[in-house]
Structure 1
């Protein structure tokens, strides 16, 4: 039942993300009645570009992951994150709010953290810690030999380092063996951790571009520029959270299931870490989906401080 509930929760969040990605193309434009006339076109263009870029990122990433899965490549979820973040970063560099190739410097530099949704961004190191923890515990316990099961309609071949073989004893003294797969062993270091590192680099590049771009309004009392930057940053952070969340349940559920089998002295720690990873994954997934599909009003954010609205050449 817990596994079924987890599957249903993730399926509902993924379905909501895909439906919202399609609907983003047809959403009506912003209500700009209270905006200065001179900013109507820049804001309308920025809103449309933001919606279409997010939608394209989700759809392209889903298509790339589906193709990779059909090809049997184990880096399916890594390809999902790489493709989506690449679309977001490219879209940010082609944003309609960027109208000049040169910028003027200011005394106060704009920092990336000024644009971040800080509570949501705090989940990123938590998700990374959970994934690295799974590998730290999974690598020394993964089976070092390949597994081939000739029973059933087709042979099952599991590479070395991709599964855990658990052994237990019945009351009669008979041995029972069970295979837990996928397992965060050495087999998944390249297809999971290497694309994850590339995603972090892409996300950092995208956030740098958000902080470094020119100011959309030269008026010092307008907060529109900061709101648009934060909105762009929310898209990048949201997609990274979704990508992180998709990695954890695969390994976390296997560790929970294996916690009842006796393999050296890892039982309780293995189950606890798997359960924690599942909780972190659900939190990251829900937060990431919310960041990607919500559409806050341009005028809903509070006025930032003068330090936040000072134009600058780029992030520190």
Structure 2
């Protein structure tokens, strides 16, 4: 019974991710007037996809190693950011592998491309919201954390009597011991994402005809979606774990003020929001724009 429920949940989760990714792919179809001059773009797309796959495989391996070696639960909490970082690095490698347009005669267009032109509005807003929630939640948990019995700072939630004696200490609590590795990983992910997006915007076009421009724009937008989804996973999965751990610790703690009992339901709601966001970002990673000739 205990094994069957997680297995069924994993199957349902996988089906949900695949279904959403298929629906997203169907909704993002690029139609072209002709099927000409797309060889360079297809080559670029294959190289970018290969780099992302390599980044994903490396991320899975690295996340597994981190999950097994991290002390006192920090490993599993950092596994998702490590996976997202490797995927972002793979995307950056794919963009760097894209050869600039060349030849004896080159065309140039007078256009202004900005990062915001390619960022997916919903995924970007959701990632920003999750980031703010993560920083805010960790700020509160760090401020209320205490050291454990071995003196490691930020591992327990303690309540004190009026004379300053500890009444109860409950762990784990996402204080500084867990917060700083997560915040450091998210900062690195944010910087890498900005570098990839800068590269997406700055690389040259392989051609100026309408068909080539249309596919090139679709590929840039898709790369931006991959980066946003990878960063979103870096935020969503740790936030879900942090919120659930904090909810359980508050619920199991005695001598807390009565108003603190409203925190566990709110934290569980944050965990569900983060978990649902992770499903969406996984679907975004699996989706791909379709190119059809009208």
Partners of 2:174 and 2:246 within 8 A in 1: no
1:37 partnered with 2:36: yes
Structure 1: where are the runs of 5+ without partners?
Answer: 19-30, 149-157, 168-175, 301-316
Matched with 1:146 is: 148
Q: Among 236, 247, 255, which residue is 1:245 paired with?
A: 236
Matched with 1:22 is: none
Q: Among 193, 199, 219, which residue is 1:203 paired with?
A: 193
Counting matched residue pairs gives: 265
The alpha-carbon distance between structure 1 residues 193 and 297, as it changes in their structure 2 partners (threshold 3 A), is same
Deviation for aligned residue 1:255: 2.0
Deviations 1:183-214 (A, max 9, x none): 22111232110111010000011011111111
The alpha-carbon distance between structure 1 residues 200 and 104, as it changes in their structure 2 partners (threshold 3 A), is farther
The alpha-carbon distance between structure 1 residues 34 and 193, as it changes in their structure 2 partners (threshold 3 A), is same
The structure where helix makes up a greater share of residues is 2
Matched with 2:225 is: 234
Which residues in structure 2 correspond to 1:164-313 (within 5 Å)?
164-165=157-158, 179-181=170-172, 183-220=173-210, 222-260=213-251, 261-262=253-254, 264-265=256-257, 267-268=260-261, 270-299=263-292
* Of 75-84 and 251-260, the range deviating more from structure 2: 75-84
Deviation for aligned residue 1:80: 2.8
Deviations 1:11-56 (A, max 9, x none): 86579989xxxxxxxxxxxx999743321x2232133223322222
Cα RMSD of the aligned pairs, angstroms, is 3.7
Deviations 1:217-262 (A, max 9, x none): 3114641121111011111111111121111122111222234334
Deviation for aligned residue 1:293: 0.4
Q: What's the TM-score once normalised by structure 2's chain length?
A: 0.75
Runs of 4+ in 1 over 6 A off after TM superposition: 4-8, 14-18, 31-34
Matched with 2:61 is: 63
Deviations 1:280-316 (A, max 9, x none): 212321121111101220249xxxxxxxxxxxxxxxx
Q: Distance in 2 between matches of 1:111 and 1:283?
A: 29
* Of 244-253 and 260-269, the range deviating more from structure 2: 260-269
Which residues in structure 2 correspond to 1:49-88 (within 5 Å)?
49-72=47-70, 74=74, 76-77=78-79, 78-88=81-91
Q: Distance in 2 between matches of 1:52 and 1:130?
A: 34
Deviations 1:76-124 (A, max 9, x none): 334333222222212211125x3459x9875541010111111111111
The alpha-carbon distance between structure 1 residues 162 and 140, as it changes in their structure 2 partners (threshold 3 A), is same
Partners of 1:258 and 1:267 within 8 A in 2: no
With CA pairs under 8 Å and 6+ residues apart, which has the higher RCO, 1 or 2? 2
Matched with 1:306 is: none
Structure 2: where are the runs of 5+ without partners?
Answer: 19-29, 161-166
Matched with 1:122 is: 125
